[in-house]
A = this chain, B = another copy of it.
Amino acid sequence: MLVALDWGTSNLRAYLMSAEGDVVETRHAARGVLHLPAPADAGGFEQAFAEIARDWLGRHPALPVVAAGMVGSAQGWIEAPYVHAPADVRALAAHGVRVASGLGPEVVIAPGVIFDAPARMPDVMRGEEIKIAGAVAAEPALGERTWFVLPGTHSKWVFVQEERIVSFATYMTGELYAVLREHSILGRLMTESADGGESALGFEAGLDAARASSPGDLSHQLFAARTLGLTGRLPRNALADYLSGLLVGHELVSALAASRATREAGAPLVLLGDAALCRRYARALEAFGAAADEQLDDTAPRGLWEFARAAGLLV
């Protein structure tokens, strides 16, 4: 049995797991790394951990505990330095970092992964490597050679070969959407997204603009999220979807080109993450003629269980 913590920027999810890797019980708290009362000191982490897992450890005092995500960043409980790609779950387990939990067992925190190759921009992930480990464990065929797409604040396109994360690229799609909508002039004309036709209209218009773009055009096309509204070419309740489609579309233009050779050589494209967001990406991929081969929901618990097993905690 295992306590597994998926501890990100905004949320803490705790799973009580069986020896077979099944989730017995799930808990959630809005206690992400940026939402702790005293983020600068370990006390805040100990307290959040105690609140969510005290009774589990009361019943089973020797239960191993593992964690992954921003909890291992420089702003986290303790820093678990990045391991270099290529990396599999055994490499992650070999570099787990232990911290006293305040409740008996230590917590073993998974490192992130860094991709730092000459002539490429360096890139980092923290948390996605565990979700990928879970996906590969659940469907071993995906370990051979797969492109995983994890949409979100910082979307990741991750190439896995022989169960190892070989290379990856981050796109700031979700964060760009949020900061432009909240803090730029583009948000001024936007109303709430429509549920139906206008929403689809705006999203498709954004995808079309991205597909028709020339290099460097993004900061020009972004301004259309204002001028399409000013001129009435798009209804105001479609402007936020235009912005979303434009940003997702640019991500796809870049990442589909970078992944083309390996995809054409047979590597499947797998969407991994929040179901609603994955459906949005699935629509965009179809519009770009590159339909996803599969869509997986949250695989973090299974990945944490694999991490614990590779770390020798489940003996």
Interface set of A (CB-CB < 8 Å, partner B): 114, 116, 121-124, 154, 169-173, 175-176, 179-180, 182-185, 209-210, 213-224, 226-228, 230-231, 233, 247, 249-255, 257-258
Contacts and interface: CB of A to CB of B under 8 A. Distances in A.
A32 to B, nearest CB: 14
B219 A172 contact: yes
15 contacts: A122-B227, A122-B228, A122-B231, A123-B223, A169-B220, A170-B223, A172-B219, A175-B185, A176-B184, A179-B179, A179-B184, A215-B215, A216-B255, A219-B254, A220-B254
A213 B258 CA distance: 12
Q: How many copies does the complex hold?
A: 2
A216 B228 CA distance: 21
A100 to B, nearest CB: 27
A197 B171 CA distance: 29
A257 B217 CA distance: 10
Contact of A253 (B185, B216, B257): B216
Contact of A122 (B184, B217, B224): B224
Nearest to A119: B212
A313 B255 CA distance: 57
A304 B254 CA distance: 45
Secondary structure class of chain A's binding surface, majority of residues: helix
A39 to B, nearest CB: 13
A221 B218 CA distance: 13
A121 B221 contact: yes
A181 to B, nearest CB: 10
Given A183-B182, A231-B114, A173 B121 contact: no
Contact of A173 (B213, B219, B252, B255): B219
Contacts of A247: 219
A233 B172 contact: no
A72 to B, nearest CB: 14
Contacts of A223: 121, 123, 154, 170-172
Given A121-B227, A171-B220, A217-B254, 15 more contacts: A114-B231, A121-B221, A171-B223, A172-B223, A175-B184, A175-B185, A179-B180, A179-B184, A182-B183, A214-B257, A215-B250, A215-B254, A216-B255, A218-B219, A219-B251
